[in-house]
Amino acid sequence: MNFKIEEIENRREFLKKSTRTLALGGFVLLGGFLGMRRSDGENSASSCALNLPCRDCASLSRCQEPRALPSKQNEDFAQGFENEKR
Amino acid sequence: MRFCSRSAKTVFLLVLCFLLFLPSMNLSQTQERFPKPDFQSGYTRPDLLTPTPRSQLLEYLDVLVLLVALALATYFAHKLRSRRKLFVLMVFSLIYFGFFRKGCVCSIGAIQNVGYAIFNSGYAVPLTVIIFFILPLVFTLFFGRTFCAAVCPLGAVQDAVVLKPTKVPAWLAEVLGILPYIYLGLAVLFVATGAGFIICQYDPFIGFFRFGASFNMMIFGASILLLGTVVARPYCRFLCPYGVLLNWMSRLSRWHVKITPTECNKCRLCEESCPFGAIKTPNEPRYQGSKEKTVKSLAALLVMLPLFIGGGGWIVSRLDESLSRQHFTVSLAEQILLEERGESTVLTEETKAYRASGKPREELFQEAVSIQEKFRLGGWFLGGFIGLILGLKLLNLSVLRRQLEYDVDTGTCLSCGRCFAYCPFEHVRLGLITPEEAAAQGARDPEAREKNENENV
């Protein structure tokens, strides 16, 4: 009976170890894949680019509405970041 | 609480209360990213609630602080087994990552950046955000959830207010335990469709960290903290989406904290020590009815698993309309449609700005329809995921596992170190009592003695 429990424990440990190695490999791949990616310019740097009302508005740059301010700032920030990188 | 004197905790709570109530004193600490634009229309410019961007160097400093904090938390939990040191580190993390860094960047919110980058090839997620997302997971993969113990500011603010924790019934904890999976799935669905970063949007404590948020969010945050005085860390246990990933990683952890530094004599002293209900008690699997019947019900659940997945997918995909309304483009298209039909008489700023942009309405509607389709497809995946989790939880409940001694549940244990002081062998390790005295602890407890005797028989 004890032998059986040991066997189960060994099997569990082996599965855990394998899954752990897989997970670690997955993180390395994910980190490498995302870290090596270069931006195409649109959304880079502005990590909170979403959820802004005028994100896709064509007249954003000349818009005077106060609610457009955060979007404009994000765009300016992204452009500034791109210029800095260059 | 042996390690943490009551008076020290009271002083800390008073300081925390002062910090939390600062927003009501209108001490706004938010700063502008750029000079104020010169508006001619007489508008009052709204206050910004986002923290100022930091230079690249300071962002790397944050990563270094995270790394050092994780290493220290692991050292304090595993090597020193010191609750007091973990508590001090927790206070530091609360001040640094919470109040000083204003809760941004945080590992929980980084889920969305990483998710958005996976689904949007044009988005380059900053390297520091990637590290903030991956580093705690890697640490958890080896040492358990030491990140939750003393590094996460959201966990720290809740841990600081735990006054009189009550035990949540196991069935309720199981049911509420599904919420983080739903929240994680929704967060991924929303970033995949470009609808928004809901984890940041509905972060209950960000308002406290930034000394300002909407009234509703402040109420939500205060309610969670109030609940946290009697139900330990409610957000971490029943909402945190990052906790789902940490739970998975912690189950695979190579080394995990243990209640006892040496052996368990089943004295039961630690049984009620965990406010998170993360201690597994010894048991002897007993089948209700015949073993064959149990195996049959297990097989039936396995067969039903695809049904759970399919059913869940079907149900959530039906919610595409209401879910997609959270996307700005869809809500704008709906608002424009309502205004055109005369069902909405008040023109909103968004619709006015859209009309001023000169973009054709058909383009907007087409885009809205395509987003709705994305939500329908995403709904299948989200529902399938929830169905799978539900099915696996039921399967897990049906599997009877032998537990020989008191040990932590590696998935839900937050490595906070509260249970260490309850183990008599910990006192032996610290040189406070002799091994003989520790061995006698179990014998002194009449219930434990009776239980041990029964087990020996």
In the predicted model, is pLDDT for residue A81 greater than 50? no
Counting the structural domains of chain A, the total is 2
pLDDT of residue A6: 74
Contacting B residues, span 342-361, partner chain A, CB-CB under 8 Å: 349-350, 352-354, 356-359
The per-residue pLDDT string of chain B (457 residues; one tens digit each, 9 = 90 and over) reads: 444 456 666 666 666 665 555 444 444 444 455 556 666 666 666 655 555 566 778 888 999 999 999 999 999 999 999 999 999 999 999 999 999 988 888 899 999 999 999 998 888 888 899 999 999 999 999 999 999 999 999 999 999 999 999 999 989 999 999 999 999 999 999 999 988 889 988 999 988 888 877 889 999 999 999 999 999 999 999 999 999 999 999 999 999 999 999 888 888 889 889 999 999 988 876 655 667 777 888 889 899 999 999 999 999 999 999 999 989 889 999 999 998 888 887 888 888 888 887 888 888 899 999 999 999 999 999 999 999 999 999 988 887 777 888 999 999 999 999 999 999 999 999 988 888 888 776 655 555 555 555 544 4
- Whether chain A has a CB inside 8 Å of the CB on B64: the answer is no
> Same domain for A85 and A46?
yes
Residue B127 with chain A: CB contacts under 8 Å: 35
Helix (H) or strand (E) holding A70: helix A69-85
Give me the pLDDT at residue B380, please.
96
Note whether A33 and A56 are same-domain residues: no
CA distances B231 to B169, B170, B270, B354, B416, Å, are 11, 13, 18, 47, 15
Residues A57 and A74 both lie in one domain: yes
Which candidate from B34, B48, B130 shows the least CB-CB separation from A34?
B130
A33 and A66 in one domain?
Answer: no
- A21 and A1 housed in the same domain: yes
Chain B residue nearest residue A33, CA to CA: B118
Residue A69's pLDDT band (boundaries 50, 70, 90)? low
Please identify which residue in the block is written with the tokens 């997620």: B125
**Residues A55 and A68 reside in one and the same domain:** yes
pLDDT of residue B199: 92
Residues A47 and A30 in one domain: no
Residue of B50, B138, B141 with shortest CB distance to A48: B50
pLDDT of residue A41: 46
Whether residues A22 and A45 share a domain: the answer is no
Q: Are residues A72 and A85 in the same domain?
A: yes
- A45 and A33 within one domain: no
In eight-state DSSP terms, residue B97 is I
- Sign of the CA dihedral with B392 first, then B394, B399, and B400 last: positive
d(CA B452, CA B457): 9
A77 contacts B252? CB cut-off 8 A? no
B50–chain A Cβ distance below 8 A for any pair: yes
- Classify the complex by whether its ipTM is higher than 0.90, answering yes or no: no
Domain boundaries, position A66? 41-86
Please check whether residue B254 touches A, CB under 8 A: yes
Whether residue A32 sits in one domain with residue A7: yes
CA A12 to chain centroid, in Å, comes to 33
- The chain A residues in contact with chain B (CB within 8 A) are 5, 16, 19-20, 23-24, 27, 30-31, 34-35, 37-45, 47-59, 63-70, 72-73, 76-77
Q: Return d(Cα B201, Cα B196) in angstroms, integer.
A: 8
A71 and A50 co-located in one domain = yes
